């Protein structure tokens, strides 16, 4: 039995993580990887993932969403370059410089704050300049990006190490992505770029779909964790799932034909049935949208989720599957892909992985820290 009170845990295979990183790296070479480990490495444990990727020569830098995520990595001893993908407030500039982080810049106010902080700290601050080529989120608009870039180049304490953009539809719309790429090239042509400046545009889907978007760096997130951003891009691409979420059967119930199960009585037994109760619910990140449509893997067979997913538990129909209390169940991961489960919930693998909550222990293995339990 698992060494914690609720038999509900996630195995994190760091060997699979490194395999995926090398696979993507070979595909995009000679470009190098920016390993995206924001949101606690998509739920996998940012510090453990950063350490596991530390010896991968193809990984040029790490990327997180916020200053606090980066600070946790620095506190954990991670010295690698770290890119902040989200916008920062001017008030955060001093911490960015002190921690040696690379901020994303696209406006003068933040650039000025970073420049002033770098002067106080007596060091140059590395930044990446972002162009909004059609995502409509962060970045200088492609029509104005060259002007803004020129102004930011005037800050003496900033080193613009790279320029980049982000695809909005790389997993599904080649035409719009091609338009974004043309806009990015237009910006590059309009700007006096130093010969040493690096470029990046591709996320995991873009890396698989657009070879001409590899440039110098590729930002890889979901592919590192073994989920395909879109299977039609590379159906034979041997990504391996890194997270396998498991639980054990904690109760078995006989249910008569016509008897309902769970809140709202949304499922009634079509026959005399046996129901297994699993200690995982929406408070753990098992989405309520999987009510009456999810499946789990039990003793080599798929068992349907019946009734509504509750806060702490789900029920599955095991009438045709020999089952005992304590049997191990896979919620997703090895042999039951997170993409398949996400599709049943009407969402994407990213959301499912990130949704696995902090009360689900992570068991990391496949490295020098094999078998160490970590809190999120």
Active site residue 257: no
Please choose, from the candidates 222, 221, 226, 219, the residue with its C-alpha nearest in 3D space to the C-alpha of residue 11: 226
Q: Is the peptide bond before 238 cis (omega within 30 degrees of 0)?
A: no
Q: Are 124 and 158 in contact (CB under 8 A)?
A: yes
Active site residue 42: no
Q: Please state, in angstroms and rounded to a whole number, the distance separating the CA atoms of residues 217 and 213.
A: 9
Candidate list 38, 42, 130, 282, residue with the active-site label: 38
Q: Are 293 and 315 in contact (CB under 8 A)?
A: no
Q: What are phi and psi of 156, to 5 degrees?
A: -70, -20
Beta bridge partners of 48: none
Q: Is the peptide bond before 45 cis (omega within 30 degrees of 0)?
A: no
The CA distances from residue 135 to 8, 25, 56, 310, in Å, are 38, 25, 30, 36
| Long-range contacts formed by 104-110: CB under 8 A, 24+ apart | 104/128, 104/129, 104/130, 104/138, 105/129, 105/130, 105/152, 105/158, 105/160, 106/130, 106/131, 106/132, 106/138, 106/139, 106/140, 106/145, 106/148, 107/140, 107/148, 108/148, 108/151, 108/152
Candidate list 75, 79, 254, 263, residue with the active-site label: 263
Q: Reduce the DSSP state of residue 211 to 3 states and report it.
A: helix
Residues annotated as catalytic are 38, 263
């Amino acid at each position: 039995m698992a060494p914690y009170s609720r038999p509900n845990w996630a195995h994190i295979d760091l060997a699979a993580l490194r395999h995926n990183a090398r696979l993507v790296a070979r595909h995009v070479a000679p470009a190098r990887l920016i390993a995206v480990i924001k949101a606690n490495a998509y739920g996998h444990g940012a510090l453990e993932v950063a350490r596991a990727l530390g010896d991968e020569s193809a990984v040029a830098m790490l990327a997180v969403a916020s200053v606090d995520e980066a600070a946790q990595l620095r506190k954990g001893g991670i010295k690698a370059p770290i890119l902040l993908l989200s916008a920062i407030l001017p008030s955060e500039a001093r911490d960015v410089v002190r921690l040696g982080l690379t901020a994303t810049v696209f406006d003068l106010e933040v650039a000025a704050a970073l420049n002033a902080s770098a002067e106080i700290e007596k060091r140059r601050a590395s930044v990446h300049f972002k162009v909004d080529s059609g995502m409509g989120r962060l970045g200088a608009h492609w029509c104005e990006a060259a002007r803004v870039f020129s102004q930011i180049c005037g800050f003496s304490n900033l080193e613009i190490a790279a320029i980049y953009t982000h695809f909005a539809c790389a997993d599904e719309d080649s035409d719009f992505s091609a338009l974004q790429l043309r806009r990015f090239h237009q910006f590059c042509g309009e700007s006096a770029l130093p010969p040493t400046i690096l470029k990046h545009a591709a996320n995991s889907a873009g890396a698989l779909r657009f070879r001409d978007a590899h440039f110098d760096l590729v930002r890889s997130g979901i592919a590192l964790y073994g989920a395909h951003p879109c299977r039609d891009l590379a159906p034979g691409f041997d990504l391996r799932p890194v997270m396998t979420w498991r639980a054990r059967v904690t109760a078995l119930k006989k249910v008569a034909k016509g008897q309902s199960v769970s809140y709202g009585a949304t499922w009634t037994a079509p026959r005399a049935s046996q129901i297994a109760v699993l200690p995982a619910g929406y408070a753990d990140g098992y989405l309520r949208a999987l009510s009456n449509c999810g499946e789990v893997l039990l003793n080599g067979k798929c068992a349907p989720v019946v009734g509504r997913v509750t806060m702490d538990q789900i029920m599955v129909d095991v009438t045709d599957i020999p089952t005992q209390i304590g049997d191990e169940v896979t919620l997703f991961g090895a042999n039951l892909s997170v993409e398949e489960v996400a599709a049943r919930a009407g969402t994407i693998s990213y959301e499912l992985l990130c949704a696995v909550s902090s009360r689900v222990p992570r068991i990391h293995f496949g490295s020098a820290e094999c078998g160490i339990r970590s809190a999120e």
